[in-house]
Amino acid sequence: MTKNEPHGLDSIINISDYHFTVSQDNRLAAPKKSLGRALHAVGMGSTFLHNGTALPNGFGHTLSDTPLTSAASTAPNSPRLQNSGSATPRVRPPATTLNIPGMTRSRVSPDGKIAQRDVGAKLVVIMVGLPARGKSYITKKIQRYLSWQQHETRIFNVGNRRRVAAGSAMGPVESPPNSPPGSPQKHANSNSIAATIDAPTQAAHILLSGVDPLLGQSDLVKLPSAETMDQSASFFDPKNEKAAQLREQVAVSTLDELLDFLLNQGGSVGILDATNSTVERRQVLFNRIKEREPKLGILFIESVCEDEKLLEANMRLKLRGPDYKDKDPESSFADFKKRVAAYTSAYVPLGEYEEKNNMQYIKMIDVGRKVIHYQLQGFLASGIASYLSTFNLSPRQIWITRHGKSQDNQSGRLGGDSDLTEEGRIYSTVLYNFITKKRTEWEADQKSRILKANNLPPKPGDQTPPYPELLGDLDSKNFCVWTSMLKRSMATSVEFEEDENYDVKNWEMLNEIHAGKFEGMTYEEIQEKFPGEYAKRAQDKLNYIYPGVGGEGYLQVISRLRDMVRELERIKDHVLIIGHRSVARVLMAYFMDLTRDDIADLDVPLGLLFSIEPKPYGIEFHAYRYNEEELWFDELVDYKPQKETVKGN
């Protein structure tokens, strides 16, 4: 196809960049850029019109049926056609089995991560459920867990993008959170087509409809005004066709961002966070994914809330969100209930349709009290199901600290199994006294909250307590103390062991990282005798593995602590973990949702004590530092995890 000079296309976009060809049956072949997707979007109900006439139904399917050259499904990296080194090319896809960074290795994935070409191992998670059912809570937990295991995971929240799209008449807006780097910023009421539509969509419109004669003087796409796109409950009414169309377009557009992340940006798991409450919407999303890449895994996760008190608390929590920020709580609460009613009128839960069409799904009831799953395939989907089955919202405290100072700490030697020094034994006594006091204070505080909740009816926006029905039986809540099987860790728990009010258990998985043949050496000795190994570790501590028998790295520690994390999510009791530096770093990385760059360098000196309380909206975090002079712990107000200042540890 050549440029159409009279229409002035050069001033807008170079159509020739898209390299169109026409087959013998006059059908357009796939372009080298993403114009096919743009045309498909237009044909699927886009608002783009020409001379007041909607574009023909199905336009764009021709181009979108052929995978893009940038997608992972195309040669030469496609799993559909691979050369194994022999004369005969491999025509079947590789086996999609367990990938664990640091624990598995293959030709396709030498580091254990999901390879870019291993599309069949990647996963699209589509959330389902009415508002205030805990979907965002679940998505954040899944994202945190998978990212902690070094699987590239990102959440794509449709609501965030919907607010931008519906409120665009207010002026320039930034790309919503989680947008891929380089996402174009879109401005409303602009006189330039380039300000409102990305290049592929511009080309699609021009190709099919020609150039608007008024281009440059008026918008090609008429964005609705702020008044007509009010986002109160009426916006979510299924009878509101304009709003429904916008919501549908935003959902599909957000899904395309997600697919770009998986297919073009090295992602492993993309989570689409939205209600997706109708069979029709879910089928549209399913079809869109299969058009882009048939081998991608698709998992639906539905969150159902049958507990009325839990639902009421969730609704009050929702009033803290961006849709109701700085608005009257009473009127906001009433409006939100109307929004839920609007969704409920068209809501179809997961079940018969998905099973009939062989779609895998997980259904969570009351945030983990009951979990149902169907036809799960792939290690990621199975791992997510196992993780979700551990959820509970019981109020509790999780404490993390290192052991008291040991003899090897004093001499600066790695690993070993030495006893505590006198300072270390004193630390163990102070730790016991402090934890016992904090345990008593916590129970008194929770009882006070229960009393307040029982005497005063909850109001919209009230967050204290978030789930009063879960705060009972505080007197019967156990307190577990978990140590490693190394002397210095077990010795720090002696005072707890002697108190029947604590349950002490030793875990091998909590042992310090094993330094292989460097066990018992100092960092200075390693640098002097093995400068190459020292430099390799300094360059990439997260992926480095100590040489020699039993040598480990941080990825191995993450792997052996996977079951520990699930247990911490499952139990309803308090826990104190007396671990080691690498263990504390890895556990803190999980609970604080730290990046992979922070894990191996997190500053966790001896004497630092962390308190974590799981909440419906995240965690409540406190940090304390051991005061040797006062023989007590001082709270570190506004403490934030930071990297250590002394490199090499």
Check pLDDT > 80 for residue 219. no
Using DSSP's 3-state secondary structure scheme, residue 618 falls into: strand
* Helix (H) or strand (E) run with residue 189 in it: none
For residue 96, name the pLDDT band (cuts at 50, 70, 90).
low
Instruction: From the candidates 237, 260, 273, 293, give the one annotated as an active-site residue.
Output: 273
Closest CA to 274 of 141, 380, 162, 180: 162
Q: Is 305 in the active site? A: yes
pLDDT by residue (tens digit) across 393-429? 889 999 999 999 999 999 999 999 999 999 999 999 9
Tell me which residue of 149, 111, 96, 141 sits closest to 563, measured CA to CA.
149
* Binding site members: 488
Residue that wins the pLDDT comparison between 91 and 621: 621
DSSP code, position 43 = H
Tokens of 367: 């945030």
**Does residue 234 carry a pLDDT above 80?**
no
Position 55 scores a pLDDT of 40
Distance CA 442, CA 436 (A): 10
Q: Please tell me which residue in 260, 512, 519, 552 is annotated as part of the active site.
A: 512
CA distance 367 to 633: 35
Could you tell me the two tokens for 327? 């608005």
Residue pLDDT, tens place only, 41-61: 434 444 333 333 344 443 333
> Residue 580 to residues 89, 362, 417, 583, 647: CA-CA distances in angstroms?
50, 36, 12, 5, 17
Q: How far apart are CA 56 and CA 51, in angstroms?
A: 13
Q: Which residues are annotated as a binding site for substrate?
A: 488
Residue ranges of domains in the chain, CATH in brackets: 96-179+223-388 (3.40.50.300), 398-456+463-635 (3.40.50.1240)
**Known catalytic residue: 111?**
no
Average pLDDT of 246-256? Answer: 87
98-128 core/surface letters (b: 16 or more CB in 10 A; e: else): ebbbbeeeeebbeebbbbbbbbbbbbbbbbb
Give the pLDDT score at 12.
35
Q: Which band of pLDDT confidence, cut at 50, 70 and 90, is reported for residue 194?
A: very low
Residue 61 appears among annotated catalytic residues: no
Question: Is this prediction's pTM over 0.75?
Answer: no
Angle at 617 between CA 612 and CA 618, to 5 degrees: 30
Q: Is residue 580 annotated as a catalytic residue, yes or no?
A: yes
Pairing of strands 608-615, 618-627: antiparallel
What pLDDT, on the 0 to 100 scale, is given for residue 432?
Answer: 99
Q: What is the mean pLDDT of the chain?
A: 76
Look-up: residue for tokens 């009426």?
Answer: 234
Average pLDDT rounded to a whole number, residues 618-644: 95
DSSP string, 594-610: --HHHHTTB---TTEEE
In this structure, how many other beta carbons lie within 10 angstroms of the beta carbon of residue 162? 24
Q: Which residue of the set 118, 260, 305, 569 is catalytic?
A: 305
Cα–Cα distance measured from residue 48 to residue 648, given in angstroms and rounded to the nearest whole number:
58
Q: How confident is the model at residue 155 (pLDDT cuts 50, 70, 90)?
A: very high
**So what's the pLDDT on residue 524?**
97
In terms of DSSP H, where are the helices of 293-359?
Answer: 308-318, 329-344, 352-356
> Please, which residues have CB within 8 angstroms of residue 557's CB and are 6 or more apart in sequence?
513, 582, 583, 586
Going by pLDDT thresholds of 50, 70 and 90, the confidence category of residue 551 is very high
Q: Is residue 615 a contact partner of residue 466, using CB atoms and an 8 Å limit? A: yes
434-483 residue pLDDT tens: 999 999 999 998 888 777 665 544 555 444 444 544 555 566 689 999 99
